[in-house]
Structure 1
Amino acid sequence: MSDGERHRPFEGRRLLVVSTNYAPEVTGIGPYATQLAEHWAQSGARVRALTGLPHYPSWQLDEAYRSVWRTVEVRGGVGVHRRRHYVPSRQSALRRAAFEASVLATGLLAPPPGRPDAVVAQMPSLAGGVIGARIARRHRVPYIPVVQDLMGAAAAQSGIRGGDRAAALAAAAERYALSRATLVGVIHESFVPRVTALGVDPGRIRTVPNWTHVQGPTADRAATRARLGWDPATPVLLHSGNMGLKQGLEVLVDTARLAPDLRVVLMGDGNQRDALRARAEGLPNVDFLEPAGAGEFTDILAAADVLAVTQRASVLDMSVPSKLTSYFVSGRPVVASVADEGGTADEVRRSGAGVLVAPEDPAALLETVRKLAADPVAAGELGAGGPAYVARRLSREAGLARFDDLLTEALDGRGSARR
């Protein structure tokens, strides 16, 4: 194979990436779909992306797209086909179903033109998985869904209103989408039993971990803290990312209530932000920050003393937060208030960059944060495990190479699609 063939392995291939989330969204799965599509475009493929309108994590339409119904953009060499859909500002099973139905309808009624050589879909959304399966079946081409979250399990475990009914419907949609796949990608091996239970042969499942899609911190840590108004003597516990139901962020507010000498910072957006603000009313040691831009994001993470990842105790095997890859690159210790037997706990243990505490237990969380704040040397050593883990397992190059292998295997016919 020539150097040119190695660097442009998909020259002339026509690829369709289906992902409800895409740039300019900077958190969640959008950055992964974007970087993957642009990587394949740089590898010589003709890539189209079928996506929705930017709305995450605020669950409000981006101002620039409020009057848009259907549009095509070119981003990073990718033709991005956007379709309008319903965006629920508050979450319930009924509203989520309406969101998925609107994504499904607009995606199926107006897919990008032309016949792709392969279809790759990010799940969630459920609708994206079904759309990908239908388009691939129509053209009789390989189909590869990538499971980022399991929505059936999420509905059952996250506490969403009407979740039990939604769980059955979501699992049926997941079964439909996954059973028709040539190969199935999962971002963590803890998803394999659930995916297998949905009717997928374990021999068709491949683990393709997310990678760190942000750059490491560059700013002076003390200067960043001063700019943010954080007292050098006050420990800062920071959570970044989506403020949704499954995160169970109430534990952070309740931790702040127990410790007036601790500053708790919630950076991001989501449908539970207003409820968390109300819960934190009267607590001067709780701050809410807007999502940070790419230029300062990891600098803010690195300025904190401890980074928090939280999940409800019921969340076990349906999600591994994408925020972990950014946390690890920042070099700060992670405290994970999550179920011990879940995929998130597995990832924190594997990294060597964090400590596990019981979920929904403010006292246990506070005790661990105090220990780390009292021993900066030990905290620094623990945090240093994050960048080392990124270099060892979560680099962008390694992550994209795994997807190259997955796509190559599907195109070569080594998977067995069900059509």
Structure 2
Amino acid sequence: MMKSSSNTLHTFRAEINTVFGDIDSFKKEKQENAIQIEQLKRYVNRLEQEKIEENRAQVYHLSTLLNNLETSVGATAQKIRKVSKQSADDEKLTILVGEVQKMKNQLFFLQQSIIQLRTQEHVNSMVPGSASGVVSVPGGMNPEIARIKTDLELLSGKVSGIIDLDCVPREQFSSKFNELVVTVEKQNQALESWRTRLQDAETANTNLISGFKDVVERLNKVQAEQEKSEQERRKYFLLMKGFKKAGALERQGQLIGMVSNFLKAGLKLQNIKIEEAYRLEDSKGRAPPPIRVKFSSIRDRNLVLSSSRAKRTRIRVQDDFTDRVKENRRRLVEFATKSSSKTRTKWALQEDKLFFNKKIYVYNQTRSQVVPVADIP
């Protein structure tokens, strides 16, 4: 009989050690997952910043090039307008050349008329009875000849002014105009190419941001699942403050014994099964850190919590919430305190839910505000 009991006790101890080993493995795995998630967050943030800065630099460079091309196109357009103006001047030149040709024809006819008039003058000036046989006509030069000379001088001045003009030949003008057209076409093609590259860069940037959003959403989903799992696990735990340290090195058996004695003597509870108990680490080193106690069932855990609230003891028993639940509760308390001072309405907290003014409120971390989710039945 004693041998059988010894074997059972040995087996029980082995199972307990296995459970403790599994718990330690779970804690290590949880810590490793948290470290990996944090590293992945940092990597994603750094990659996002680098890509955004790179895309900004590319967009700025492309914008500068576009501005330069637009300036060049503007200058080219101005040149084209000047050339168009020169084209109008060339048309005027063509008209002037035609007029010059007409004046040349008129000069030729005038010269012929002068020859005829001089011949006629010579004949009329010859009269009989003079010693030399020639008598000069009084009054000097014939008025018609004087008028013709004046017209000739005016025409000669106009021709000289036209000849002195700095005109560009039609062939040279056509060549320059064609070169300008080719240059404008090339600049338009280059501008279109840069616009296409800019659109591609913007599309790539949009796709990159979308990919980052997907990664962030997946990370948030993983964190939410991990938070939910941790909250479910902590429903078996309570924190107990006020236990003095048994020594520099406390064993788990000593802590379980201290908690069991408190449950029996302080809270008058029997047959409460405790699976594990360990003292939390405290870097401040002031009061003894609390003991985290895990119960075998949620029923036992809730019974201990309700009994401790009903009785006043030197040991304070509290829920073991996650950091996120603690933050949510703090925000809900601030909201309830401020709102109840106006409405004079009582409120109550249950985990991370606020029961106030016939509604149930939660803290939405995405929107960073307290929002109602349901009515109190």
Structure 1 or 2: larger strand share?
1
By relative contact order (CA 8 Å, sep 6+), the higher-ranking structure is 1
TM-score by length of 1: 0.16
TM-score by length of 2: 0.18
Larger radius of gyration: 2
Structure 1 or 2: larger helix share?
2
